[in-house]
Structure 1
Amino acid sequence: MIQRLKKWLVGYQSAPGTDDEKWIPRLQEGPIPKHVAIIMDGNGRWAKKRGMPRVAGHRAGMKSVRNVTRAADDLGEIEALTLYSFSTENWKRPKDEVNFLMSLPEEFIRTDLDELVERNIQVRMLGNKEGLPAHTLEAIGKFEEATADNTGMILNFAMNYGSRFEIIEATRRIIDEVKSGKLDRDDVDENVFNEFLLTATLPEPDLMIRTSGEVRISNFMLWQLAYSELWFTDVHWPDFGREKFFEAIQDFQRRSRRYGAV
């Protein structure tokens, strides 16, 4: 099974025939989302369809992480790419699968850190670090330290992340600030609330993509997605490559964003 997966990965191309000369200059003529958020769904179903264990789908999905990160960076105007890597609900999955997912940052740092540094990409983690294994936190820390001075696109991994938890924690912190007299109750508005969220330093997502045919947002950036454009595809995440990503950007450019106005 492992040899079969390795053989497949060696020959795998996420978007056969993608022509960057066709896509990138044309897309750069239109509006590019400053922040793209992606729910990377369908790894397990992709693997099951091929008679492989679920972890094989997660490993294959790493290749899509790499390809989409490159595509977003190559467009040149995307400031942040947030990837929903592990939700607070994902702890309910089988222990072996969770352990494998917790090992992926260590593997990713071995295979991709040099290129991320070369591309001037800054890596961040969005989520609750409490409860994550020490080896996972160590790998994430190495990513953040090695790319801290990079000034290009932010690659944001939402790990052990749940939006309801984030909103509750932000509310608690605001209450503490009001009680201590550091913040006046009447000053609390949307802008102030944003400052207490984990995404305080990021623009709100202009575009949210979800793969694998599910049409919901699954406790992901509930506050931040209020006016985001949503794009859904039936393609499983391991098969989502540059061309599909560019298609999503192209569809975004066709939309009229009125933010409640006529």
Structure 2
Amino acid sequence: MKRILIFSLTYHPFVGGAEVAIKEITDRVSPEEYAFDMVTLRFDSSLPEVEKRGNITIYRVGPSIQGAQVSDRNLPLTLRLAKTLFPFTACAKAYMLSRKNAYDMTWAMMANSAGFGAIFFKYLRPRIPYFLELQDGRAFADMPKRRPILRLIWWLYKKVYTKADKIKTISHFIEREVRSIGYEKEIFVIPNAVDVAKFSREVSGDELAELKARFGKKMGDVFLFTASRLVLSRGVEDTIRALSFWCRTASDFCRAHRP
């Protein structure tokens, strides 16, 4: 059996797309062939420090508070401290786990604090392959502007990528960004999947009418929906700018063909 150690900044019940991807991937491999351990932040003190969910044994670390509500815009000081310390607490926990478990690989979800924890562990256990998964489409050139601290540790931040033995990205945009900082090893581009059963479900006329009424949609109104983040790789900005041209063109077309 192969044993893999996952570094993830957050996990259940604090989940986004990246954390859902971990669950969907680990649920689809045989527990007789692969076992997963995960080091992640605890955040909420009511959560157990060790928990088995699906095919993952979760080890939660770091300072926590009762009834934590996790948001990047409004994070209590204790939880901000937990995020800052995560590279060190995660590495320490991973090292303790590695003394009793023989890991075949480490898997860092995203090049955030989880990635830092993974490369610190890589220095302690250099023979264990380090796999990095990237789902964030932000351009490297913008990162020091968003997080000024990266200007001071840019050399170390680059190692989160360059120390990886393999990298997986969900888009060619992210692949090009990784290549731009000098990564020369193999990169796998595997887009995230969808639940076909949910997205191919037939919607009845009554459901559609109820939905239109709920949002006040009138005849001729166009509602455009995206579930993505407002980052460059998603192209949402281009779509928003194009809407003004599309609306004018559509109006002209309707007037020209009005009976």
TM-score (norm 2): 0.30
Structure with greater Cα Rg: 2
**Bigger helix fraction:** 1
TM-score (norm 1): 0.30
**Bigger strand fraction:** 2
